[in-house]
Amino acid sequence: MDNRNILAIGTSAGGVEALLFLARHFPADFPAAVFITIHLGTQFRSSLDELLSNAGPLPAAFARDGDLVQNSRVYLAPADRHLLVERDRILLGHGSRENNARPAIDPMMRSVAACCGPRAVGVVLTGTLSDGASGLWALAQCGGITVVQDPTDAAFADMPANALKRLRPTTLSL
């Protein structure tokens, strides 16, 4: 990824399958830290960390406040907490819900944009509504690379389609 050592991925509905696909294809020496926000409920304990760890070579764990960021690791936003990145540390926020969700993708993407923009890649995958669109736009404004799943390939097209609309520059006719 040539000097890009932060990969921030946001997804929602249909996201578990997409994340498992990605986990299977990461190399064991992946030269970046991977941050994932997926909308999780609080009523049950999630085993997504175990599923992703078993699917591929990178260890996955729910992030803890103050964790030191390390390459070749997957950090998941825990239920009811926003996953934020500041320099080389993870912060867990309990701020307001965004896009009806906590954890939400936009706060993660904005924090990655602010701390690490030129060395980050942001990705929006399958999901409903528009979480991730404004955060991905912020990342692009700060020099990050943005990637959006093809809406026609997504289990749920709303999030990728809305991210593409937000990123696409408007054209003016004069």
Asked if 94 is an active-site residue, the reply is no
Set 39, 49, 82, 134: catalytic member:
39
pLDDT digits (tens, 9 = 90+) for 38-76: 998 888 889 999 999 999 999 999 999 999 999 999 999
Q: Please give the model's pTM, rounded to 2 decimal places.
A: 0.95
User: Could you confirm whether 131 is annotated as catalytic?
Assistant: yes
Stretch 73-81: mean pLDDT: 97
Is the pLDDT reported for residue 135 higher than 90? yes
Question: Maximum distance among all alpha carbons in the chain?
Answer: 56
**2 confidence band (pLDDT: 50, 70, 90):** low
Domains annotated on the chain, with CATH: 6-167 (3.40.50.180)
Show the CA angle centred on residue 171, arms to residues 170 and 174, nearest 5°. 140
Of these residues, 111, 131, 134, 158, which one is catalytic? 131
**Separation CA 9–CA 102 (nearest Å):** 15
Partner residues linked to 74 by β-bridges: 34, 60
Q: What are phi and psi of 171, to 5 degrees?
A: -110, 130
